[in-house]
């Protein structure tokens, strides 16, 4: 049997860009250079003391227990953890979640993966209706489709295409708000999923309650028109990293066909511990039978991928809940400092309303991003960033994403590099 290496290369390439930049930083350091790495959203603010107290308590409990507390558990998570997360989310998001609506996952990425795998699964081909000529046995294309609001986190496309589903990008407005007319025009009979990310990676846009309410109305109209509801996958790992007077507004409160996904990676600075959760709106699969089928399908997808979220971190979560978080003002200060460096140098951008990033267009003096990159990667202090094309293609070919989740000293180094190169 021949191995389809071309397929493997294509699959790898879809998610390779950010990894390659990370590896480039490793290479530069090995060469003795000192890169300024503004490419990766790797939170550096430490968790608050409450986390470490709970972690010590959990380790002590496990060590001194007469039982082995490191055994297998239910795939969806410990019951006491699901109870606590459901209770806190019910208050925070104003949705009557119960434990059965919640699953504890190995980070938000794991939650995204299992929801996408469950909702976009299909048979290779399903029997279709007769064609125009009435020929029997004619097949119809049953490929499901997911909508992405561009610019978008590139891993969405990797996960969707991994299910042999189609992606359709719908560009946000010029100021990165939801373009409701474009979204409505893009929805068709094959549309199964709309991925919504607020605060947005890479732009930092935080969608308002008014925007989301209007989107919910639109989606209900399309459900009535098409006979099938589009499910919203609400990916909100930055929902506690919101700046100034802006407030996070949840789509799940406005639209019953929503799965809310988040994690403690950003809010608590626990990206390496892989602890997250998903919560399906109680009306998403109405009726006991439908709800049981949906939960079983999610659980099966979870087991096929990681089995369950880490036990130690789940036990910590049972003690502290999902409320504690780092101070978002620290990331806001850094984003503002980075913006104050970029603006006088000719970069065009909107200050982020939340998250870790600035998404900026490069100065007009550069012909393209390749020319800009050559200047930024030169010397003993190469400046690393993520090209805008990663987040939605050629429409963002003059944009770059710069991460503000680095110490302020690194932001100042970036400022010196940029000022020297662009003087």
What does the pLDDT read at residue 7? 56
d(CA 150, CA 349): 16
- With 0-12 / 13-18 / 19 or more C-beta atoms within 10 angstroms meaning exposed / middle / buried, residue 159 is buried
Q: Which domains does the chain have, with CATH numbers?
A: 7-47+327-422 (3.90.1150.10), 53-122+142-320 (3.40.640.10)
d(CA 209, CA 249): 5
Reported as half-sphere exposure (CB side, CA atoms, 13 A), residue 332 has a value of 13
Q: What is the DSSP letter of 306?
A: T
**Packing angle of the helix pair 328-342, 408-422 (nearest 10 deg):** 10
Cβ count within 10 A of residue 249 = 19
d(CA 183, CA 149): 8
- Strand ranges inside 67-181, DSSP E: 102-105, 145-150, 166-171
- With 0-12 / 13-18 / 19 or more C-beta atoms within 10 angstroms meaning exposed / middle / buried, residue 151 is buried
Backbone φ, ψ for residue 357 (5° rounding): -125, 155
What does the pLDDT read at residue 10? 60
Q: Which of 89, 70, 12, 50 is nearest to 250 (CA)?
A: 89
Could you tell me the mean pLDDT of each successive run of 10 residues in the chain, 423 residues long? Answer: 58 61 86 94 94 98 96 94 98 97 96 95 52 50 92 95 94 97 97 98 98 98 96 98 97 98 96 96 80 82 86 97 96 97 97 97 96 95 96 96 95 96 85
The string of DSSP codes covering 159-211 is HHHTTT-EEEEEE--TTS---HHHHHHH--TTEEEEEEESS-TTT-----HHH
What does the pLDDT read at residue 1? 46
């Amino acid at each position: 049997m021949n191995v389809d290496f071309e397929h493997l290369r294509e699959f790898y390439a879809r998610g390779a860009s950010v990894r390659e930049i990370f590896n480039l930083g490793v290479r530069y350091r090995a060469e003795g250079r000192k890169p300024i790495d503004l490419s990766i959203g790797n939170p550096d603010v430490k968790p608050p003391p409450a986390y470490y107290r709970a972690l010590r308590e959990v380790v002590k409990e496990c060590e001194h227990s007469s039982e082995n507390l490191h055994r297998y558990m239910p795939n969806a998570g410990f019951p006491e953890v699901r109870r606590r997360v459901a209770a806190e989310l019910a208050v925070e998001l104003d949705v009557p979640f119960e434990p059965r609506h919640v699953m504890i996952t190995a980070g938000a990425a794991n939650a995204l993966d299992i929801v996408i795998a469950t909702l976009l699964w299909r048979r290779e081909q399903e029997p279709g209706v007769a064609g125009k000529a009435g020929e029997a046995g004619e097949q119809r294309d049953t490929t499901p489709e997911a909508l992405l609001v561009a610019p978008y986190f590139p891993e969405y496309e990797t996960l969707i295409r991994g299910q042999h589903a189609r992606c359709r990008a719908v560009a946000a407005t010029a100021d990165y708000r939801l373009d409701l007319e474009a979204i409505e025009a893009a929805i068709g009979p094959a549309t199964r999923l709309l991925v919504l990310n607020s605060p947005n990676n890479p732009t930092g846009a935080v969608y308002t309650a008014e925007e989301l309410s209007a989107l919910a109305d639109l989606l209900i109209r399309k459900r009535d028109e098409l006979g099938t509801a589009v499910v919203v996958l609400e990916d909100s790992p930055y929902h506690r990293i919101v700046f100034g007077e802006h407030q996070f507004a949840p789509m799940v409160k406005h639209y019953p066909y929503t799965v809310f996904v988040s994690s403690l990676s950003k809010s608590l600075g626990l990206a390496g511990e892989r602890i997250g959760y998903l919560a399906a709106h109680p009306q998403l699969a109405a009726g006991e039978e439908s709800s049981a089928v949906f939960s079983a399908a999610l659980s099966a997808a979870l087991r096929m991928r990681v089995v369950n979220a880490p036990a130690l971190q789940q036990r910590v979560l049972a003690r502290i809940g999902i409320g504690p978080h780092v101070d978002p003002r620290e990331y806001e200060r850094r984003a503002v400092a980075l913006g104050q460096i970029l603006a006088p140098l000719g970069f065009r951008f909107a200050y982020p309303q939340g998250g870790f990033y600035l998404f900026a267009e490069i100065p007009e003096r550069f012909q393209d991003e390749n020319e800009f990159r050559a200047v930024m990667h030169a010397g003993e202090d190469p400046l690393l960033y993520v090209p805008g094309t990663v987040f939605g293609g050629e429409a963002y070919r003059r944009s770059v994403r710069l991460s503000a989740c680095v110490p302020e000293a690194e932001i100042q180094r970036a400022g010196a590099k940029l000022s020297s190169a662009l003087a």
